[in-house]
Structure 1
Amino acid sequence: MRTYTLPAAVIAGALVLGVTACGSDQTDGSDGGGKLVVGATPTPAGEVLAYVQQNLAKKAGLDLEVKEFTDYVLPNTALQQGELDANLYQHTPYLEDFNKSRGTTLTPVTEVYLPPLGFYSEKVEDVTKLREGATVALPNDVTNEGRALGLLASQGVIGLKKGAGVNATPRDVADNPRKLKFKELEAAQLPRSLGDVDVAAVNNNFALDAGLSPQKDAILLESVKDNPYNNVLAVKKGDEDDPRVKKLAELLTSPEVKKFIEDTYKGAVLPA
Protein backbone atom coordinates (compact mmCIF):
# COMPACT_ATOMS: atom_id res chain seq x y z
CA MET A 1 0.00 0.00 0.00
CA ARG A 2 1.08 3.62 -0.44
CA THR A 3 2.72 5.33 2.46
CA TYR A 4 1.19 8.75 1.95
CA THR A 5 -2.22 10.40 2.05
CA LEU A 6 -3.14 13.19 -0.33
CA PRO A 7 -5.08 16.19 0.96
CA ALA A 8 -8.73 16.02 -0.09
CA ALA A 9 -8.46 19.38 -1.83
CA VAL A 10 -5.72 18.07 -4.07
CA ILE A 11 -7.70 14.98 -5.05
CA ALA A 12 -10.86 16.98 -5.67
CA GLY A 13 -9.05 19.60 -7.70
CA ALA A 14 -6.97 17.41 -10.01
CA LEU A 15 -8.00 17.87 -13.61
CA VAL A 16 -7.85 14.53 -15.38
CA LEU A 17 -8.72 15.38 -18.94
CA GLY A 18 -7.80 12.12 -20.68
CA VAL A 19 -4.87 10.82 -22.59
CA THR A 20 -6.08 11.62 -26.08
CA ALA A 21 -4.26 14.36 -27.91
CA CYS A 22 -6.99 16.96 -28.17
CA GLY A 23 -6.50 20.51 -29.26
CA SER A 24 -6.38 22.83 -26.26
CA ASP A 25 -8.07 26.19 -25.95
CA GLN A 26 -5.07 28.03 -24.60
CA THR A 27 -4.43 31.53 -25.89
CA ASP A 28 -1.19 33.26 -26.78
CA GLY A 29 0.66 33.80 -23.52
CA SER A 30 3.26 36.26 -24.77
CA ASP A 31 1.75 38.98 -22.59
CA GLY A 32 1.79 36.77 -19.51
CA GLY A 33 -1.95 36.04 -19.72
CA GLY A 34 -3.98 33.12 -21.01
CA LYS A 35 -4.31 29.58 -19.80
CA LEU A 36 -1.16 27.49 -19.39
CA VAL A 37 -1.84 23.84 -20.32
CA VAL A 38 0.64 21.40 -18.79
CA GLY A 39 0.88 17.67 -19.48
CA ALA A 40 1.86 15.23 -16.74
CA THR A 41 1.78 11.61 -15.67
CA PRO A 42 -0.61 11.14 -12.73
CA THR A 43 1.92 10.41 -9.96
CA PRO A 44 3.78 12.37 -8.75
CA ALA A 45 3.78 15.05 -11.46
CA GLY A 46 -0.01 15.36 -11.72
CA GLU A 47 -0.36 15.53 -7.95
CA VAL A 48 2.33 18.19 -7.60
CA LEU A 49 0.72 20.27 -10.34
CA ALA A 50 -2.71 19.81 -8.76
CA TYR A 51 -1.31 21.17 -5.50
CA VAL A 52 0.06 24.21 -7.33
CA GLN A 53 -3.23 24.67 -9.17
CA GLN A 54 -5.35 24.52 -6.02
CA ASN A 55 -3.08 26.40 -3.61
CA LEU A 56 -0.66 28.70 -5.41
CA ALA A 57 -1.59 29.44 -9.03
CA LYS A 58 -4.57 31.76 -8.54
CA LYS A 59 -2.70 33.91 -6.04
CA ALA A 60 0.21 34.17 -8.48
CA GLY A 61 -2.11 35.15 -11.33
CA LEU A 62 -1.57 31.90 -13.23
CA ASP A 63 -4.47 30.14 -15.00
CA LEU A 64 -3.21 26.54 -14.90
CA GLU A 65 -4.79 23.51 -16.59
CA VAL A 66 -3.42 19.99 -16.16
CA LYS A 67 -3.80 17.19 -18.71
CA GLU A 68 -2.81 13.73 -17.51
CA PHE A 69 -1.20 11.03 -19.64
CA THR A 70 -0.41 7.42 -18.79
CA ASP A 71 2.59 6.93 -21.06
CA TYR A 72 5.92 8.65 -21.77
CA VAL A 73 5.48 9.48 -25.47
CA LEU A 74 2.23 11.42 -25.84
CA PRO A 75 3.14 14.23 -23.41
CA ASN A 76 6.16 15.07 -25.58
CA THR A 77 4.48 14.73 -28.96
CA ALA A 78 1.57 16.85 -27.74
CA LEU A 79 4.03 19.47 -26.49
CA GLN A 80 5.90 19.53 -29.79
CA GLN A 81 2.63 19.86 -31.72
CA GLY A 82 1.48 22.81 -29.62
CA GLU A 83 -1.35 20.98 -27.86
CA LEU A 84 0.45 21.61 -24.55
CA ASP A 85 2.42 24.61 -23.33
CA ALA A 86 4.70 22.57 -21.06
CA ASN A 87 5.01 19.17 -19.45
CA LEU A 88 6.36 17.64 -16.26
CA TYR A 89 7.23 13.93 -15.99
CA GLN A 90 10.67 13.24 -17.49
CA HIS A 91 14.35 13.61 -16.69
CA THR A 92 16.82 15.39 -18.96
CA PRO A 93 18.56 12.23 -20.35
CA TYR A 94 15.16 10.94 -21.54
CA LEU A 95 14.24 14.32 -23.02
CA GLU A 96 17.54 14.55 -24.90
CA ASP A 97 17.18 11.02 -26.27
CA PHE A 98 13.58 11.77 -27.30
CA ASN A 99 14.72 14.86 -29.21
CA LYS A 100 17.46 12.87 -30.94
CA SER A 101 15.28 9.93 -31.95
CA ARG A 102 12.12 11.85 -32.91
CA GLY A 103 13.41 15.18 -34.17
CA THR A 104 11.62 17.21 -31.49
CA THR A 105 12.90 20.49 -30.06
CA LEU A 106 12.06 20.25 -26.38
CA THR A 107 14.14 21.82 -23.62
CA PRO A 108 14.19 21.71 -19.81
CA VAL A 109 13.28 24.84 -17.84
CA THR A 110 13.93 23.79 -14.24
CA GLU A 111 14.46 20.66 -12.15
CA VAL A 112 11.54 19.89 -9.84
CA TYR A 113 11.91 16.52 -8.06
CA LEU A 114 13.76 13.21 -8.11
CA PRO A 115 11.76 9.97 -8.37
CA PRO A 116 14.26 7.15 -7.67
CA LEU A 117 13.95 4.05 -9.86
CA GLY A 118 13.83 0.72 -8.05
CA PHE A 119 13.71 -3.04 -8.52
CA TYR A 120 10.64 -4.85 -7.18
CA SER A 121 9.87 -8.54 -6.83
CA GLU A 122 7.24 -10.96 -5.55
CA LYS A 123 9.77 -13.79 -5.52
CA VAL A 124 13.07 -12.59 -4.04
CA GLU A 125 14.18 -10.07 -1.43
CA ASP A 126 17.70 -9.43 -2.73
CA VAL A 127 18.79 -8.95 -6.37
CA THR A 128 22.14 -10.51 -5.56
CA LYS A 129 20.29 -13.76 -4.74
CA LEU A 130 18.55 -14.12 -8.12
CA ARG A 131 18.46 -17.70 -9.38
CA GLU A 132 20.27 -18.77 -12.54
CA GLY A 133 18.15 -18.02 -15.60
CA ALA A 134 15.90 -15.56 -13.73
CA THR A 135 13.84 -13.14 -15.81
CA VAL A 136 14.44 -9.42 -15.29
CA ALA A 137 11.89 -6.95 -16.70
CA LEU A 138 13.25 -3.60 -17.85
CA PRO A 139 11.68 -0.38 -19.18
CA ASN A 140 12.07 -0.39 -22.97
CA ASP A 141 12.96 3.29 -23.39
CA VAL A 142 16.66 3.82 -23.90
CA THR A 143 17.61 5.99 -20.95
CA ASN A 144 15.58 4.20 -18.29
CA GLU A 145 16.71 0.78 -19.53
CA GLY A 146 20.33 1.89 -19.23
CA ARG A 147 19.56 3.36 -15.83
CA ALA A 148 18.17 0.02 -14.63
CA LEU A 149 21.06 -2.00 -16.04
CA GLY A 150 23.52 0.39 -14.41
CA LEU A 151 21.79 -0.16 -11.08
CA LEU A 152 22.15 -3.94 -11.45
CA ALA A 153 25.79 -3.50 -12.41
CA SER A 154 26.40 -1.37 -9.31
CA GLN A 155 25.50 -4.42 -7.21
CA GLY A 156 27.75 -6.78 -9.17
CA VAL A 157 24.79 -8.73 -10.56
CA ILE A 158 25.94 -8.09 -14.14
CA GLY A 159 28.85 -6.39 -15.84
CA LEU A 160 28.47 -3.85 -18.64
CA LYS A 161 30.74 -3.13 -21.57
CA LYS A 162 33.11 -0.25 -20.98
CA GLY A 163 31.52 3.03 -22.02
CA ALA A 164 27.97 1.66 -22.20
CA GLY A 165 26.78 4.53 -20.01
CA VAL A 166 23.17 5.68 -19.61
CA ASN A 167 22.15 4.25 -22.99
CA ALA A 168 23.10 0.67 -22.15
CA THR A 169 20.86 -2.15 -23.43
CA PRO A 170 20.95 -5.91 -22.77
CA ARG A 171 23.37 -6.15 -25.73
CA ASP A 172 25.87 -4.23 -23.59
CA VAL A 173 25.87 -6.87 -20.84
CA ALA A 174 29.40 -8.25 -20.97
CA ASP A 175 29.27 -10.36 -17.82
CA ASN A 176 26.14 -12.34 -16.91
CA PRO A 177 27.18 -15.06 -14.46
CA ARG A 178 23.57 -15.94 -13.56
CA LYS A 179 22.50 -16.14 -17.22
CA LEU A 180 19.70 -13.67 -16.52
CA LYS A 181 17.04 -13.22 -19.19
CA PHE A 182 15.96 -9.65 -19.92
CA LYS A 183 12.39 -8.76 -20.87
CA GLU A 184 11.84 -5.27 -22.26
CA LEU A 185 8.39 -3.77 -21.57
CA GLU A 186 6.63 -0.43 -21.75
CA ALA A 187 7.35 1.34 -18.45
CA ALA A 188 3.65 1.50 -17.52
CA GLN A 189 3.35 -2.31 -17.82
CA LEU A 190 6.18 -3.13 -15.42
CA PRO A 191 4.20 -3.18 -12.14
CA ARG A 192 1.72 -5.60 -13.74
CA SER A 193 4.56 -7.88 -14.81
CA LEU A 194 5.68 -8.71 -11.26
CA GLY A 195 3.70 -11.95 -11.16
CA ASP A 196 5.31 -13.16 -14.39
CA VAL A 197 8.99 -12.27 -13.86
CA ASP A 198 11.50 -12.68 -11.07
CA VAL A 199 12.25 -8.98 -10.70
CA ALA A 200 11.25 -5.76 -12.49
CA ALA A 201 12.75 -2.29 -12.66
CA VAL A 202 9.87 0.13 -12.12
CA ASN A 203 9.92 3.88 -12.57
CA ASN A 204 8.87 5.75 -9.46
CA ASN A 205 5.64 7.23 -10.81
CA PHE A 206 4.34 3.87 -12.01
CA ALA A 207 5.36 2.24 -8.73
CA LEU A 208 3.35 4.79 -6.77
CA ASP A 209 0.38 4.43 -9.14
CA ALA A 210 0.44 0.67 -8.44
CA GLY A 211 0.44 1.17 -4.68
CA LEU A 212 4.11 0.25 -4.25
CA SER A 213 6.26 2.11 -1.75
CA PRO A 214 9.77 2.74 -3.09
CA GLN A 215 11.09 3.03 0.45
CA LYS A 216 9.42 -0.15 1.76
CA ASP A 217 8.78 -2.40 -1.24
CA ALA A 218 11.80 -1.91 -3.48
CA ILE A 219 14.46 -4.59 -3.04
CA LEU A 220 16.97 -2.23 -4.66
CA LEU A 221 16.59 1.55 -4.95
CA GLU A 222 19.00 3.90 -6.66
CA SER A 223 20.84 6.43 -4.53
CA VAL A 224 19.80 10.07 -4.68
CA LYS A 225 23.39 11.26 -4.32
CA ASP A 226 24.73 12.84 -7.53
CA ASN A 227 21.73 11.47 -9.42
CA PRO A 228 21.22 12.98 -12.91
CA TYR A 229 17.60 11.90 -13.19
CA ASN A 230 15.75 14.81 -11.61
CA ASN A 231 12.43 15.37 -13.40
CA VAL A 232 12.11 18.69 -15.19
CA LEU A 233 9.50 21.15 -16.34
CA ALA A 234 9.95 21.15 -20.13
CA VAL A 235 8.75 23.34 -23.01
CA LYS A 236 9.21 23.55 -26.76
CA LYS A 237 12.43 25.40 -27.55
CA GLY A 238 11.74 29.12 -27.79
CA ASP A 239 9.10 29.12 -25.08
CA GLU A 240 11.49 29.25 -22.13
CA ASP A 241 10.84 32.97 -21.62
CA ASP A 242 7.04 32.71 -21.70
CA PRO A 243 6.01 34.64 -18.54
CA ARG A 244 3.49 31.92 -17.66
CA VAL A 245 6.17 29.24 -17.86
CA LYS A 246 8.53 31.30 -15.72
CA LYS A 247 5.79 31.81 -13.16
CA LEU A 248 5.06 28.07 -13.00
CA ALA A 249 8.79 27.30 -12.67
CA GLU A 250 8.97 29.65 -9.68
CA LEU A 251 5.99 27.98 -8.04
CA LEU A 252 7.31 24.45 -8.64
CA THR A 253 10.59 25.32 -6.92
CA SER A 254 8.98 27.25 -4.08
CA PRO A 255 9.25 26.36 -0.37
CA GLU A 256 5.55 25.47 -0.41
CA VAL A 257 5.99 22.81 -3.10
CA LYS A 258 9.15 21.51 -1.42
CA LYS A 259 7.17 20.99 1.79
CA PHE A 260 4.26 19.38 -0.10
CA ILE A 261 6.61 16.85 -1.72
CA GLU A 262 8.35 16.06 1.56
CA ASP A 263 5.11 15.73 3.54
CA THR A 264 3.23 13.78 0.89
CA TYR A 265 5.79 11.25 -0.33
CA LYS A 266 7.83 10.71 2.85
CA GLY A 267 11.11 10.26 0.96
CA ALA A 268 9.67 8.29 -1.98
CA VAL A 269 10.00 11.47 -4.07
CA LEU A 270 12.56 14.14 -3.24
CA PRO A 271 12.42 17.85 -4.11
CA ALA A 272 15.23 18.90 -6.39
Structure 2
Amino acid sequence: MKKSIQFISLLLTLIFILGLSAGCSQQSTAKIEKPLKVGVTAGPHAEVMEQVKKIAEKDGLKIEIVEFNDYIQPNVALNQGDIDVNSFQHKPYLDNIIKDRNYDIISLANTVIFPMGIYSSKLKNIADLPVNAVVAIPNDPTNGGRALLLLEKLGLIKLKPGIGLKAAVTDIVENPKKIVIKELDAAQIPRSLADMDVAAINTNYAITAGLVPTKDAIAIEDINSPYANIIAVRSKDKENPAIQKLIKAYHSDEVKAFIQEHFKGSVTAAW
Protein backbone atom coordinates (compact mmCIF):
# COMPACT_ATOMS: atom_id res chain seq x y z
CA MET A 1 0.00 0.00 0.00
CA LYS A 2 2.81 2.35 0.95
CA LYS A 3 4.57 1.64 -2.35
CA SER A 4 1.35 2.38 -4.25
CA ILE A 5 1.03 5.77 -2.55
CA GLN A 6 4.65 6.57 -3.31
CA PHE A 7 4.16 5.56 -6.95
CA ILE A 8 1.04 7.74 -7.28
CA SER A 9 2.84 10.64 -5.60
CA LEU A 10 5.80 10.26 -8.00
CA LEU A 11 3.44 10.07 -10.98
CA LEU A 12 1.60 13.23 -9.93
CA THR A 13 4.93 15.01 -9.50
CA LEU A 14 6.03 13.99 -12.98
CA ILE A 15 2.70 15.16 -14.45
CA PHE A 16 3.08 18.50 -12.65
CA ILE A 17 6.64 18.96 -13.96
CA LEU A 18 5.62 18.02 -17.49
CA GLY A 19 2.70 20.47 -17.25
CA LEU A 20 5.04 23.27 -16.22
CA SER A 21 7.39 22.39 -19.07
CA ALA A 22 4.55 22.42 -21.59
CA GLY A 23 3.31 25.74 -20.21
CA CYS A 24 6.75 27.29 -20.54
CA SER A 25 7.05 25.87 -24.04
CA GLN A 26 3.72 27.42 -25.02
CA GLN A 27 4.72 30.78 -23.54
CA SER A 28 8.01 30.64 -25.41
CA THR A 29 6.25 29.79 -28.67
CA ALA A 30 3.74 32.60 -28.13
CA LYS A 31 6.60 35.03 -27.65
CA ILE A 32 8.30 33.93 -30.85
CA GLU A 33 5.04 34.16 -32.81
CA LYS A 34 4.23 37.67 -31.59
CA PRO A 35 3.73 39.83 -34.71
CA LEU A 36 6.19 42.59 -35.50
CA LYS A 37 4.26 45.86 -35.49
CA VAL A 38 5.29 48.02 -38.44
CA GLY A 39 4.05 51.60 -38.74
CA VAL A 40 3.49 53.05 -42.22
CA THR A 41 1.64 55.93 -43.80
CA ALA A 42 -1.34 55.15 -46.01
CA GLY A 43 -0.57 54.90 -49.71
CA PRO A 44 2.63 53.61 -51.34
CA HIS A 45 4.38 52.71 -48.08
CA ALA A 46 1.40 50.64 -46.92
CA GLU A 47 1.05 48.99 -50.35
CA VAL A 48 4.70 47.93 -50.39
CA MET A 49 4.55 46.68 -46.80
CA GLU A 50 1.61 44.41 -47.70
CA GLN A 51 3.93 42.68 -50.16
CA VAL A 52 6.75 42.56 -47.61
CA LYS A 53 4.35 40.92 -45.17
CA LYS A 54 3.65 38.09 -47.63
CA ILE A 55 7.36 37.45 -48.22
CA ALA A 56 8.21 37.63 -44.50
CA GLU A 57 5.57 35.03 -43.63
CA LYS A 58 7.47 32.50 -45.75
CA ASP A 59 10.44 33.11 -43.43
CA GLY A 60 8.35 32.61 -40.30
CA LEU A 61 7.88 36.30 -39.50
CA LYS A 62 4.40 37.64 -38.82
CA ILE A 63 3.90 41.35 -39.48
CA GLU A 64 1.10 43.56 -38.21
CA ILE A 65 0.80 46.70 -40.34
CA VAL A 66 -0.27 49.82 -38.46
CA GLU A 67 -1.32 52.71 -40.73
CA PHE A 68 -0.99 56.39 -39.82
CA ASN A 69 -2.42 59.42 -41.59
CA ASP A 70 0.26 61.93 -40.65
CA TYR A 71 4.06 62.14 -40.44
CA ILE A 72 4.29 62.83 -36.69
CA GLN A 73 2.60 59.86 -35.02
CA PRO A 74 4.69 57.03 -36.55
CA ASN A 75 7.79 58.30 -34.75
CA VAL A 76 5.87 59.06 -31.56
CA ALA A 77 4.49 55.52 -31.56
CA LEU A 78 7.91 54.01 -32.26
CA ASN A 79 9.62 56.02 -29.54
CA GLN A 80 6.94 55.00 -27.03
CA GLY A 81 7.16 51.32 -27.98
CA ASP A 82 3.63 51.09 -29.39
CA ILE A 83 5.13 49.79 -32.65
CA ASP A 84 8.43 48.01 -33.33
CA VAL A 85 9.45 49.58 -36.64
CA ASN A 86 8.30 52.32 -38.97
CA SER A 87 8.70 52.78 -42.71
CA PHE A 88 7.50 56.12 -44.09
CA GLN A 89 10.22 58.80 -43.94
CA HIS A 90 13.57 59.75 -45.42
CA LYS A 91 16.63 60.18 -43.24
CA PRO A 92 16.80 64.01 -43.34
CA TYR A 93 13.28 64.07 -41.90
CA LEU A 94 14.19 61.57 -39.18
CA ASP A 95 17.33 63.53 -38.34
CA ASN A 96 15.26 66.68 -37.79
CA ILE A 97 12.78 64.81 -35.59
CA ILE A 98 15.60 63.37 -33.49
CA LYS A 99 17.14 66.82 -33.13
CA ASP A 100 13.83 68.39 -32.09
CA ARG A 101 12.53 65.62 -29.82
CA ASN A 102 15.65 63.71 -28.77
CA TYR A 103 14.20 60.35 -29.82
CA ASP A 104 16.47 57.30 -29.55
CA ILE A 105 15.61 56.13 -33.08
CA ILE A 106 18.00 55.09 -35.83
CA SER A 107 17.86 54.26 -39.54
CA LEU A 108 18.64 50.64 -40.42
CA ALA A 109 17.98 50.24 -44.15
CA ASN A 110 16.78 52.02 -47.28
CA THR A 111 13.35 51.24 -48.70
CA VAL A 112 12.03 53.31 -51.62
CA ILE A 113 12.62 56.70 -53.13
CA PHE A 114 10.22 59.16 -54.71
CA PRO A 115 12.92 60.51 -57.02
CA MET A 116 13.33 64.15 -57.93
CA GLY A 117 14.01 64.41 -61.63
CA ILE A 118 15.29 66.97 -64.10
CA TYR A 119 12.79 67.45 -66.91
CA SER A 120 12.85 69.40 -70.16
CA SER A 121 10.57 70.04 -73.12
CA LYS A 122 13.58 71.26 -75.13
CA LEU A 123 16.44 68.87 -74.39
CA LYS A 124 16.88 65.12 -74.58
CA ASN A 125 20.14 64.98 -72.65
CA ILE A 126 21.34 67.01 -69.68
CA ALA A 127 24.79 67.16 -71.30
CA ASP A 128 23.28 69.41 -73.98
CA LEU A 129 22.34 72.13 -71.50
CA PRO A 130 23.50 75.41 -73.05
CA VAL A 131 25.38 78.28 -71.43
CA ASN A 132 23.03 80.71 -69.65
CA ALA A 133 20.29 78.07 -69.52
CA VAL A 134 17.31 78.82 -67.30
CA VAL A 135 16.79 76.16 -64.62
CA ALA A 136 13.75 76.05 -62.36
CA ILE A 137 14.00 74.64 -58.83
CA PRO A 138 11.53 74.62 -55.89
CA ASN A 139 11.63 77.74 -53.74
CA ASP A 140 11.22 76.00 -50.36
CA PRO A 141 14.43 75.23 -48.42
CA THR A 142 14.06 71.43 -48.28
CA ASN A 143 13.24 70.80 -51.92
CA GLY A 144 15.39 73.66 -53.17
CA GLY A 145 18.40 72.18 -51.43
CA ARG A 146 17.54 68.78 -52.80
CA ALA A 147 17.45 70.18 -56.35
CA LEU A 148 20.79 71.94 -55.89
CA LEU A 149 22.42 68.73 -54.68
CA LEU A 150 21.13 66.98 -57.79
CA LEU A 151 22.48 69.75 -60.04
CA GLU A 152 25.84 69.47 -58.27
CA LYS A 153 25.92 65.71 -58.75
CA LEU A 154 25.30 66.27 -62.45
CA GLY A 155 28.35 68.55 -62.56
CA LEU A 156 26.37 71.70 -63.43
CA ILE A 157 27.30 73.63 -60.29
CA LYS A 158 29.53 73.33 -57.25
CA LEU A 159 28.29 74.13 -53.76
CA LYS A 160 30.08 75.47 -50.73
CA PRO A 161 32.01 72.56 -49.14
CA GLY A 162 30.13 70.87 -46.32
CA ILE A 163 26.85 72.71 -46.86
CA GLY A 164 25.01 69.45 -47.44
CA LEU A 165 21.22 69.32 -47.28
CA LYS A 166 20.92 72.96 -46.24
CA ALA A 167 22.18 74.20 -49.60
CA ALA A 168 20.72 77.42 -50.99
CA VAL A 169 21.33 79.30 -54.23
CA THR A 170 23.68 81.63 -52.34
CA ASP A 171 25.87 78.60 -51.57
CA ILE A 172 26.79 78.07 -55.23
CA VAL A 173 30.55 78.70 -55.55
CA GLU A 174 31.07 77.50 -59.12
CA ASN A 175 28.69 77.82 -62.07
CA PRO A 176 30.70 77.07 -65.23
CA LYS A 177 27.73 77.22 -67.62
CA LYS A 178 26.39 80.37 -65.96
CA ILE A 179 22.99 78.79 -65.57
CA VAL A 180 20.21 81.08 -64.36
CA ILE A 181 18.29 79.53 -61.49
CA LYS A 182 14.62 80.42 -61.09
CA GLU A 183 13.09 79.57 -57.74
CA LEU A 184 9.39 78.78 -58.09
CA ASP A 185 6.68 77.18 -56.02
CA ALA A 186 7.17 73.43 -56.41
CA ALA A 187 3.59 72.89 -57.60
CA GLN A 188 3.96 75.58 -60.25
CA ILE A 189 7.13 74.21 -61.87
CA PRO A 190 5.49 71.59 -64.15
CA ARG A 191 3.22 74.30 -65.58
CA SER A 192 6.28 76.47 -66.25
CA LEU A 193 8.35 73.72 -67.87
CA ALA A 194 7.91 75.10 -71.40
CA ASP A 195 9.38 78.43 -70.32
CA MET A 196 12.52 76.82 -68.86
CA ASP A 197 15.43 74.96 -70.38
CA VAL A 198 15.19 72.39 -67.61
CA ALA A 199 13.36 72.06 -64.29
CA ALA A 200 13.75 70.03 -61.10
CA ILE A 201 10.39 68.50 -60.25
CA ASN A 202 9.29 66.40 -57.26
CA THR A 203 7.69 63.06 -58.07
CA ASN A 204 4.24 63.93 -56.75
CA TYR A 205 4.02 67.02 -58.97
CA ALA A 206 5.57 65.20 -61.92
CA ILE A 207 2.88 62.51 -61.76
CA THR A 208 0.13 65.11 -61.57
CA ALA A 209 1.55 66.64 -64.75
CA GLY A 210 1.51 63.26 -66.49
CA LEU A 211 5.26 62.68 -66.24
CA VAL A 212 6.88 59.36 -65.31
CA PRO A 213 10.23 59.93 -63.53
CA THR A 214 12.10 56.90 -64.90
CA LYS A 215 10.78 57.49 -68.41
CA ASP A 216 10.54 61.26 -68.91
CA ALA A 217 13.31 62.72 -66.74
CA ILE A 218 16.57 63.51 -68.53
CA ALA A 219 18.35 63.08 -65.18
CA ILE A 220 17.13 61.62 -61.93
CA GLU A 221 18.21 60.92 -58.36
CA ASP A 222 19.74 57.48 -57.89
CA ILE A 223 19.47 55.03 -55.00
CA ASN A 224 22.26 56.86 -53.16
CA SER A 225 20.11 59.95 -52.73
CA PRO A 226 20.04 61.16 -49.11
CA TYR A 227 16.28 61.42 -49.57
CA ALA A 228 15.75 57.68 -49.87
CA ASN A 229 13.10 56.46 -47.44
CA ILE A 230 14.19 54.23 -44.59
CA ILE A 231 13.29 51.57 -42.04
CA ALA A 232 13.62 53.09 -38.57
CA VAL A 233 13.81 51.35 -35.18
CA ARG A 234 14.69 52.12 -31.59
CA SER A 235 18.46 51.84 -31.23
CA LYS A 236 18.15 48.99 -28.71
CA ASP A 237 16.41 46.86 -31.36
CA LYS A 238 18.98 47.23 -34.15
CA GLU A 239 20.13 43.60 -33.72
CA ASN A 240 16.62 42.18 -33.30
CA PRO A 241 16.44 39.04 -35.53
CA ALA A 242 12.80 39.77 -36.42
CA ILE A 243 13.74 43.19 -37.76
CA GLN A 244 16.59 41.68 -39.74
CA LYS A 245 14.05 39.30 -41.30
CA LEU A 246 11.86 42.29 -42.14
CA ILE A 247 14.72 43.98 -43.97
CA LYS A 248 15.55 40.74 -45.79
CA ALA A 249 11.95 40.45 -46.98
CA TYR A 250 11.80 44.12 -47.99
CA HIS A 251 15.00 43.81 -50.02
CA SER A 252 13.79 40.72 -51.85
CA ASP A 253 13.57 40.44 -55.62
CA GLU A 254 9.83 39.89 -55.32
CA VAL A 255 9.26 43.22 -53.58
CA LYS A 256 11.52 45.06 -56.03
CA ALA A 257 9.55 43.58 -58.93
CA PHE A 258 6.28 44.68 -57.32
CA ILE A 259 7.55 48.25 -56.92
CA GLN A 260 8.66 48.40 -60.55
CA GLU A 261 5.43 46.98 -61.90
CA HIS A 262 2.90 48.61 -59.58
CA PHE A 263 4.24 52.16 -59.49
CA LYS A 264 5.45 52.36 -63.10
CA GLY A 265 8.53 54.38 -62.20
CA SER A 266 6.93 56.93 -59.87
CA VAL A 267 8.41 55.06 -56.91
CA THR A 268 11.70 53.16 -57.18
CA ALA A 269 13.57 50.69 -54.99
CA ALA A 270 16.39 52.34 -53.06
CA TRP A 271 18.59 49.32 -52.43
Q: Normalising by the residue count of structure 2, what TM-score does the alignment of the two structures yield?
A: 0.63
Letter in 2 for 1:100: K
Q: Runs of 5+ in structure 1 lacking a partner?
A: 1-28
Structure in which a larger fraction of residues adopt helix: 2
Letter in 2 for 1:46: A
Q: d(CA) in 2 for partners of 1:243 and 1:217?
A: 41
Q: What is residue 214 of structure 1 aligned with on the other side?
A: 213
Structure with larger Rg: 2
Q: What is residue 236 of structure 1 aligned with on the other side?
A: 234
Taking structure 1 as reference, are residues 265 and 69 closer, same or farther at Cα in structure 2, changes over 3 Å only? same
Question: Which secondary structure state, in structure 1, belongs to the residue aligned with residue 236 of structure 2?
Answer: coil
Q: d(CA) in 2 for partners of 1:132 and 1:258?
A: 37
Q: d(CA) in 1 for partners of 2:78 and 2:153?
A: 35
Question: Which secondary structure state, in structure 2, belongs to the residue aligned with residue 180 of structure 1?
Answer: strand
Letter in 1 for 2:109: T
Q: d(CA) in 1 for partners of 2:97 and 2:36?
A: 26
Taking structure 1 as reference, are residues 192 and 106 closer, same or farther at Cα in structure 2, changes over 3 Å only? farther
1:146-200 Cα shifts (integer Å, max 9, x gaps): 33212213445444223323432333123563442324x6xxxx45652257565
Matches within 5 A, 1:1-272: 33-34=34-35, 36-40=37-41, 42-43=43-44, 45-53=45-53, 55-59=54-58, 60-69=60-69, 75-82=74-81, 84-120=83-119, 125=123, 128=129, 135-137=136-138, 140-141=141-142, 145-175=144-174, 177-183=178-184, 190-191=186-187, 193-195=189-191, 198=196, 201-204=200-203, 207=206, 212-224=211-223, 230-242=228-240, 244-265=242-263, 269-270=268-269, 272=271
Question: Which secondary structure state, in structure 2, belongs to the residue aligned with residue 260 of structure 1?
Answer: helix
Question: Which secondary structure state, in structure 2, belongs to the residue aligned with residue 88 of structure 1?
Answer: strand
| Contact 1:42–1:68 (CA under 8 A) maintained in structure 2 | no
- Percent identity over the alignment is 33
Q: d(CA) in 2 for partners of 1:50 and 1:103?
A: 30
| Contact 1:106–1:234 (CA under 8 A) maintained in structure 2 | yes
| Contact 1:139–1:202 (CA under 8 A) maintained in structure 2 | no
Q: Runs of 5+ in structure 2 lacking a partner?
A: 1-29
Q: How many residues get paired? A: 232
Q: CA RMSD in A?
A: 3.9
Letter in 1 for 2:168: T
Q: Normalising by the residue count of structure 1, what TM-score does the alignment of the two structures yield?
A: 0.63
